[in-house]
Amino acid sequence: MENPVFQGYCGSKPPRFANRIELECAKILDFYGIPWDYEPRSFVLERDDEGRVVSAFTPDFYLPEQDLFIEVTVMKQSLVTRKNRKLREIRRLYPDVKVKLFYRRDIERLAQRYRLRLAS
């Protein structure tokens, strides 16, 4: 995967994207001059009786000027149930945290508009 130099990236370590879609979304943010960070924070959703983390969620992007976390998924809609459940938990446990999930259909619309190559 290519490793472009980003102007809007405000993280401390170079981003290591999980897939091509995340890279393309980062390029769009960068093109429009939107400051962003990649996976800067994980949210603990559940701990076991000894306090060990059992479930956590790490959104893909953080936009500091909007104070907004973004998760990007290209999973089939039928497979997104688990991710939606985690987002509901974030909203319940961290009510002041703003998080938005972009689904496959949202990414497909962006891909059409910006001529992105979508991973299958």
One digit per residue, the tens of pLDDT, for the chain of length 120 reads 677 889 999 999 889 999 888 898 898 888 889 999 999 999 999 999 999 999 999 999 999 999 999 999 877 766 688 888 999 999 999 999 999 998 877 877 877 776 666 554
Asked whether residue 25 is assigned to any structural domain, the reply reads no
Give the 3-state secondary structure of residue 53.
strand
pLDDT at 39: 97
Number of domains the chain is built from: 1
User: What is the distance between the alpha carbons of residues 113 and 120, in angstroms, rounded to a whole number?
Assistant: 18
Domain around 64: 39-114
pLDDT of residue 59: 96
Cα–Cα separations (whole angstroms), residue 45 to 25, 79, 85, 103, 109: 26, 20, 10, 21, 31
Residue 92 lies in a domain: yes
Rounded Cα gap, residues 4 and 24, in angstroms: 11
Mark out the alpha helices in 1-120 (DSSP H runs).
20-31, 81-93, 104-114
Q: What pLDDT does residue 120 have?
A: 46
104 part of a folded domain: yes
